[in-house]
Structure 1
Amino acid sequence: MSNRKLKIAIQKSGRLFEDSLRILKDCGISIDNGRDQLKASARNFPLEVMYLRNGDIPQYLNDGVVDLAIIGENLLVEKGRDIEIIERLGFSKCRVSLAAPKGGRIRSLADLNGKKIATSYPNTVKEYLDKNGVDAELHIINGSVEIAPNIGLADGIVDIVSSGSTLFKNNLEEVETILMSEAVLAGSPVMDEELKALTERLKFRIRSVLNARDSRYVLLNAPNDKIQDIIRILPGMRSPTVLPLAEEGWSSLHTVINKEKFWEIIDELKSVGAEGILVCPIEKMVF
């Protein structure tokens, strides 16, 4: 039996660190973790976690130093265009946006013709400018990009935006969104078949966790003459389970619904006679 392990990279600090460890934990993978460690092994899955500097991860994937990584899609667009996205993870959502001083002359991308843009994403920005026929000078900054307009270094910036609070604090406003991003599971292009098979095992677990996070288990009671109306409303995995209640003429229906449509569906269910609606979180969903 092979003793090989998948090597997965996650940020050693920053916004993806906690969420990356959480999804591995939710997959049932126990990691002997320490924040100051360079790497840690899983006790119950052939996996080794490597804590790396965010900007180095795409190169490590390309070189096969690590087999997988949990990384922001925006960084792959900037530094790892040829790296495969194995699974979108749905957390750490953000956007890469053009921003400029509030009330200033920069109101659109075209207004930056002949102007200066500060950014940590020069490849992404240059491609976007070229595509839109805008000629601007780029200042590459690794750090606090948002201060550049205030100190006269640039007329606008392109940076990651989540809540927008950092822009607000620096008297900046979004002008245009260049790229939407989220955390992804990315794979090295040089994995062999054995490592790909291990990756499939991990991907199966991750998908089960993500499906559960996006869904809710719903139980409700309804008069029998309303069951068909309710079934038409419920977007279940296949069809809801219908069980007779002790009270004659009534049944209990069990199904799964998407959490994003939860309140809309609940309102419809109530309008056609559903009662005693119980909603439960789901730990895992295995197909």
Structure 2
Amino acid sequence: MVRTDSKLKIAVQKSGRLSEGTLRLFSDCGISLNLHEARLIAPAENWPLELLRVRDDDIPGLIMDGAADLGVVGENVLEEARLERGGMGAAAEYRLLRSLDFGHCRLSIAQRTEDANGSLEGQRIATSYPYLLRRWLVQRGIRATPVSLTGSVEVAPRAGLAEAICDLVSSGTTLAANGLQEREVIFRSQAQLIGRMGPLQPEQSATLDRLLRRLDGVQKARESKYIMLHAPKKRLEEVLSLLPSKHPTVVPLQHTRTEVAVHAVSAETVFWETMEQLRELGCSSILVLPIEKML
């Protein structure tokens, strides 16, 4: 599909599991969106892009058919669509641009609690992801029958529609409430930023490059902490060995010649035990701070 406008069109979930995380991510990137609940297109006020707010099941097709430039979609929805479209001979290609740090879940087999250790052989398994389930069954050599349902999968065993289910699980609370026990994870998922195949216009490519830089900065900042402390010079090597950072900055302090200031960015968790060890080495003014932005 060939378009002449230079705005990036990004398909996102209008409402649901990924919607909030997607909007927060764009906001953290400094993108101001003109959102109205009833409108399916949300233009950015300060970027040459617009969001297409659609059902999550529609996002892979919009990308694979070239109707949208980018999409934010759950890996589970993406892979299910790829398998389905591939089986029908339809276009199923896309570019994976970034894995995003939200929308984590798992697709799991669950059975009634009293049957949780029983065989799946010959069983009916209710699911909204028949292609992912069928692939897993073939890989395991299990002969079972997927039963496709578009919603309320958890009630299938109680309603006599199936003996087991295959559905998304986050905490497992819904399974327990319906007398089900998680048995095996068949697919793990998180949000993905994908792009259509084929070249973008130069203006679109520039916008995408800028967006990816900001996405990387936001995600790196979320994962990192900024560490600041005063350390005695004579124990500096021991102090630096405790810090979860490869390139700390060491600067002199104006009020003393026996101590230095140490600043470091860490992508690892800084535990209380580490801070206590630093204190025992004579460090003071130990601060561990969140980072808002990084480039």
CA RMSD, 1 decimal = 1.8
Q: Distance in 1 between matches of 2:261 and 2:155?
A: 59
Q: Distance in 1 between matches of 2:210 and 2:111?
A: 45
* Counterpart residue type for residue 107 of structure 1: N
Q: Distance in 1 between matches of 2:254 and 2:243?
A: 20
C-alpha distance after superposition, 1:190-227 (max 9, x if no partner): 34253344222211110000010001111111111111
Is residue 242 from structure 1 mapped to residue 242 from structure 2 by the alignment?
A: no
Residue 272 of structure 1 aligns with which residue? 281
Q: Distance in 1 between matches of 2:159 and 2:248?
A: 61
TM-score, L = length of structure 1: 0.92
Q: Distance in 1 between matches of 2:185 and 2:156?
A: 19
Q: Distance in 2 between matches of 1:167 and 1:245?
A: 61
Q: Aligned pair in 2 of structure 1 residues 3, 264: CA closer, same or farther (>3 Å)?
A: farther
Residue 11 of structure 1 aligns with which residue? 13
Structure 1: unaligned runs, 5 residues or longer: none
Residue 20 of structure 1 aligns with which residue? 22
Is residue 143 from structure 1 mapped to residue 145 from structure 2 by the alignment?
A: no
Structure 2: unaligned runs, 5 residues or longer: 84-92
Deviating more after overlay: 258-267 vs 204-213: 258-267
1:25-44, aligned counterparts within 5 Å?
25-44=27-46
Q: CA deviation at 1:171?
A: 1.2
C-alpha distance after superposition, 1:114-162 (max 9, x if no partner): 1100000111111111011011001000011111111111111111111
Cα contact 2:248–2:265 (8 A) shared by 1:
no
Cα contact 1:32–1:41 (8 A) shared by 2:
yes
Residue 227 of structure 1 aligns with which residue? 236
Is residue 68 from structure 1 mapped to residue 70 from structure 2 by the alignment?
A: yes
Q: Distance in 2 between matches of 1:18 and 1:222?
A: 42
Is residue 128 from structure 1 mapped to residue 136 from structure 2 by the alignment?
A: yes
Instruction: Report the 3-state secondary structure (helix = DSSP H, G, I; strand = E; otherwise coil) of the residue aligned with 1:98.
Output: strand
Cα contact 1:58–1:79 (8 A) shared by 2:
yes
Q: Distance in 2 between matches of 1:3 and 1:153?
A: 49
Cα contact 1:6–1:198 (8 A) shared by 2:
yes
Q: Distance in 2 between matches of 1:173 and 1:268?
A: 43
Q: Distance in 1 between matches of 2:132 and 2:9?
A: 28
Q: Distance in 1 between matches of 2:279 and 2:106?
A: 38
What is the number of equivalent residue pairs in this alignment? Answer: 282
Residue 284 of structure 1 aligns with which residue? 293
Q: Distance in 2 between matches of 1:95 and 1:216?
A: 28
Residue 101 of structure 2 aligns with which residue? 90
1:157-236, aligned counterparts within 5 Å?
157-194=165-202, 195-236=204-245
Deviating more after overlay: 251-260 vs 153-162: 251-260
TM-score, L = length of structure 2: 0.90
Q: Distance in 2 between matches of 1:197 and 1:86?
A: 15
